[in-house]
Structure 1
Amino acid sequence: MLKKVETHISQELPFLKKASLLIAVSGGVDSVVLTQVLHQLDYTISIAHCNFNLRGIESDLDETFVLELGSALKIQTHLKSFDTAKIAKKNSSSIQVTARELRYEWFQELLQNHQYDYVLTGHHLDDNLETFLINLSRGTGLEGLLGIPTVNDHIARPLLPFSRAEIEQFAISTKLNWREDQSNASTKYLRNKIRHQIVPVLKELNPSLLDSFQKTTTFLKQSQDFIDETIQSIKQQTWTEEPNGLIKIDIEKLQKSKNPKTILYQLLKDYHFTAWEDVYHLLEAQTGKMVFSKTHQLLKDRGFLLLSEKKTSNSIEETFFIEKDTAKIEQPISLSFTEVSETGSKEKTQIYVDQKLIKYPLCLRKWKNGDVFYPSGMKGKKKLSNYFKDEKYSLIDKENTWLLCSENEIVWVVGKRQDRRFMVNNKTAKTLLISQ
């Protein structure tokens, strides 16, 4: 098995050879074999163990075993204890989800604090088959049928092509010790039920089940690669990224395809949306309709879907003050303030202001109901809400607009329109150039 693992890494994971690796070790046969194999192959490894305190003395014995393993191999060992049940109850989450989140958050800390390049886990071919069947039973798209990825960000799984039987045979033949988690024998959890009740039947029907499964996942991955290439081509035609981070999706161009919903899913799948039917309905919805994920918002605005990060109420209400003689600011936006002797050409990205007409500190804020200003080039005053409507601002455009104010009066809808009350005239003694 040593030779097979070395060949697999050379072909599929060559970047691991010179990397600093942290192996997640539960004490079970999979992670113990992974540790022993890489140690014998002279990789640079350390190990990490989480004690979730869910099985009483057994959890403590697992921790002791891993500590002794690290000592025997003379490699650095990291240990972490969690009150998992208490944390799960506090977060109203399941024990399994909580344990997974705690484990990977801690691994990320170790990566950063100790300059490890990758975390390695002992997932193997049988685990991959079980994941495939779990996703299939719950209903999933093509991605859910691809199983466990070999590499995912800084997580790598060198044993993924190897069966549980191969791993156990290596452990027995080399007389390795490992810990058995008795909870793995229980059919209380879905994965164990599939492992003990469904997979054995499938293997009885097809003794070459694991080989067939590997071939199937290879074909599925090839199909996914083709889809990714196609989506990238469509993305170039329908997807525009604005300088402020706003993403515009052209609905008309999207709907010219045969499967706009499928394409929309592929375009947005990494933005944490879950209410997909609501997302699809935006294609035909009225302007102003929105759908939210935990991180982003998607707005229907005439012929476009506008994707942006979800704003918090605090960020919208925040006000930034600018003191006199300030030359430049970088937050929340970049603005420079320069005293000049004469005005130049008019640009939306700059305004010329009569110094004596403004009062410090100036402030930058977002708009609010009731705001009015006196737009340059127009007579009279105008509600800012009506200005936004006339200029066809989307909700996201409004959220991204900053107002430069003197006391409670708008000096500039930044980057768009100056208030004429503060403009330079023939009586101006000092002129201030404000530019983005």
Structure 2
Amino acid sequence: MLSKFKNHIDAKLPFLKGKKLLLACSGGVDSVVLAHLCKSAGLDIALVHCNFKLRGADSDGDEAFVRNLAETLDVEVLVKAFNTLEYVKDHRGSMQMAARELRYQWFNDLLKEKDFAYLMTAHHLDDDLETFLINLSRGTGLEGLLGIPEQNDKIIRPLLIFTREEIAAYAEEQNIQWREDSSNSESKYLRNKIRHGIVPKLKELHPTFVQNFIQTQSYLHQTSDLANNHLEEVKTRLFQKVDGAIKVNVADLQKLQPLQAYLYGLFHGFGFSDWEAVHGLLTSMSGKEVFSKTHRLVKNRDCLILSELKTRVNDHFPVFDKDTMLEQPIKLTMDNVERMEKPLSNTIFLDKEKLNFPLVLRNWEKGDYFYPFGMKDKKKLSKFFKDEKIDVVSKEKQWLLCSDDEIVWVVGKRADERFRVDDSTRQIVKITWIS
């Protein structure tokens, strides 16, 4: 098993070599064997253990065992105790989910704070099979049948090529000691029901069941790769990047069949899950929105606009107290000039004596109005945006240059008539937006 493990590291996970690695160790046979294998393979590991304080003396015994294992292997050990019951009470989740959240929050903190490159866990082939069956029983798409990935960002699972039987046999062969978790035999958990009740019967019915499962997953991964490659081609063709957002023509989307499958493939990576609502956007009125935890889809005329959710803070940035240059949040320069030139979309010429300094840069707010250059009457910005066919996302990102409470320039779009250069102007300033 050690030789197979080393070959697997060399072939599939060579980037682990020479890196500081965390190894999640519960004290059970899987994680203890992984620790021994990593040490024998020359990997630089530190054991990390969570004491959830749920099994009394057994929990403390697991902690003591892991500390002793680290001493035996001559590696660093990091241990943290959690008040899991209080966490469950505060967050109203299951005990298993609470333990998972606490565990991975701490692991992520350690990866960032202590300069570890990756976290290794001891998931193996039987865990992968059980996850496949759990997802199948709950109803899932192709993604749910792909099982446990060997790498998920900073999390590495190098034992997925080994069965539970292989791991246990290696532990006995090498006289490796471990701790048994009594909860692994409790029948109240779905995974344990599948582990102890269903998988043995499947293996009994089909002696080559595990090998057949490996082959099936290989086919599923190939199918997934084909689908993902096609979806990337569709995204390249349909996704148009505009002003930090993505614009997708609705008519082009509606040509895709099966539409629901395409909508899922194109947008599920942005966190969306209410597919009925996403589908409804295609025929909804302009302005209708659907949100995920990280993104927003907005119907805007004949398009959907996908943008990242960001807290909009309408900060006011004082600028141009003197002749100067602004670098953030956008780059503006101001110069005193002798005469006007032909204005461009990124430049305006103003009567300096009509301005009250410092000028202020801010986002637009409801109720804003200005006097568009060349017009005598005022106009609400919302009406101006509509006439100019500016979409919702671009509108929210629009910057305004103001003198006191008066808009001087809808930056990059239109200057205000009240500050124009005329026959009485004695000082002219040129303001340029460097995009």
The TM-score normalised by the length of structure 2 is 0.95
The 2-side partners of 1:259 and 1:268 are apart by: 15
Moved more, 13-22 or 142-151: 13-22
**What is the alpha-carbon root mean square deviation over aligned residues?**
1.7
Identity value in percent: 48
The 2-side partners of 1:337 and 1:56 are apart by: 70
* Aligned residue runs from structure 1 range 115-154, under 5 A: 115-154=115-154
1:323 Cα deviation after fit: 5.5
User: Residue 216 of structure 1 corresponds to which residue in structure 2?
Assistant: 216
The 1-side partners of 2:87 and 2:335 are apart by: 54
* Aligned residue runs from structure 1 range 295-334, under 5 A: 295-312=294-311, 315-322=312-319, 324-325=321-322, 327-334=324-331
The 1-side partners of 2:382 and 2:153 are apart by: 44
Moved more, 316-325 or 26-35: 316-325
- 1:405 pairs with 402, 406, 421, which one? 402
Local SS of the residue matching 2:69: helix
User: Residue 263 of structure 2 corresponds to which residue in structure 1?
Assistant: 264
User: Residue 62 of structure 2 corresponds to which residue in structure 1?
Assistant: 62
Q: Does the CA contact (< 8 Å) of 2:202 and 2:209 recur in 1? A: yes
Q: Does the CA contact (< 8 Å) of 1:70 and 1:76 recur in 2? A: yes
1:316 Cα deviation after fit: 4.3
User: Residue 204 of structure 2 corresponds to which residue in structure 1?
Assistant: 204
1:158 Cα deviation after fit: 0.6
User: Residue 422 of structure 1 corresponds to which residue in structure 2?
Assistant: 419
Local SS of the residue matching 1:280: helix
Residues 66-95 of structure 1: per-residue CA shift (max 9 Å, x gap): 111111111111111221221232223332
The 2-side partners of 1:52 and 1:344 are apart by: 71
User: Residue 158 of structure 1 corresponds to which residue in structure 2?
Assistant: 158
Q: What amino acid sits opposite 1:367 in the alignment?
A: W
1:258 Cα deviation after fit: 2.2
1:214 Cα deviation after fit: 0.8
The 2-side partners of 1:340 and 1:380 are apart by: 29
2:25 paired with 1:28: no
Residues 189-219 of structure 1: per-residue CA shift (max 9 Å, x gap): 2212221222222222222221111111110
Q: What amino acid sits opposite 1:37 in the alignment?
A: L
Local SS of the residue matching 2:75: coil
User: Residue 349 of structure 1 corresponds to which residue in structure 2?
Assistant: 346
Moved more, 58-67 or 337-346: 337-346
Local SS of the residue matching 2:350: strand
Using a 3 Å threshold, how does the CA distance of structure 1 residues 321 and 91 change in structure 2: closer, same or farther? farther
Q: Does the CA contact (< 8 Å) of 2:244 and 2:307 recur in 1? A: yes
Q: What amino acid sits opposite 1:289 in the alignment?
A: K
Q: What amino acid sits opposite 1:347 in the alignment?
A: L
Residues 1-34 of structure 1: per-residue CA shift (max 9 Å, x gap): 0011112222221222333221111111111001
The 2-side partners of 1:338 and 1:190 are apart by: 71
User: Residue 336 of structure 2 corresponds to which residue in structure 1?
Assistant: 339
Q: What amino acid sits opposite 2:405 in the alignment?
A: N
Q: Does the CA contact (< 8 Å) of 1:322 and 1:362 recur in 2? A: yes
1:294 Cα deviation after fit: 1.1
Local SS of the residue matching 1:385: helix
Structure 1 moving runs of 4+ over 6 Å: none
2:189 paired with 1:189: yes
Residues 335-378 of structure 1: per-residue CA shift (max 9 Å, x gap): 23333333333222222222111112322223233221111133
User: Residue 275 of structure 1 corresponds to which residue in structure 2?
Assistant: 274
1:144 Cα deviation after fit: 0.8
The 2-side partners of 1:99 and 1:356 are apart by: 65
Using a 3 Å threshold, how does the CA distance of structure 1 residues 316 and 3 change in structure 2: closer, same or farther? same
1:263 Cα deviation after fit: 2.0
Local SS of the residue matching 1:72: helix
Using a 3 Å threshold, how does the CA distance of structure 1 residues 355 and 91 change in structure 2: closer, same or farther? farther
User: Residue 287 of structure 1 corresponds to which residue in structure 2?
Assistant: 286
Local SS of the residue matching 1:241: strand
1:117 Cα deviation after fit: 1.6
2:391 paired with 1:376: no
Q: Does the CA contact (< 8 Å) of 2:315 and 2:362 recur in 1? A: yes
Local SS of the residue matching 2:45: strand
User: Residue 89 of structure 2 corresponds to which residue in structure 1?
Assistant: 89
The 2-side partners of 1:15 and 1:369 are apart by: 53
1:55 Cα deviation after fit: 1.6
Moved more, 171-180 or 186-195: 186-195
| Structure 1 unaligned spans of 5+ | none
Local SS of the residue matching 2:286: coil
Residues 277-300 of structure 1: per-residue CA shift (max 9 Å, x gap): 111111222211110111111001
Moved more, 34-43 or 341-350: 341-350
Q: Does the CA contact (< 8 Å) of 2:376 and 2:417 recur in 1? A: no
Paired positions, count:
433
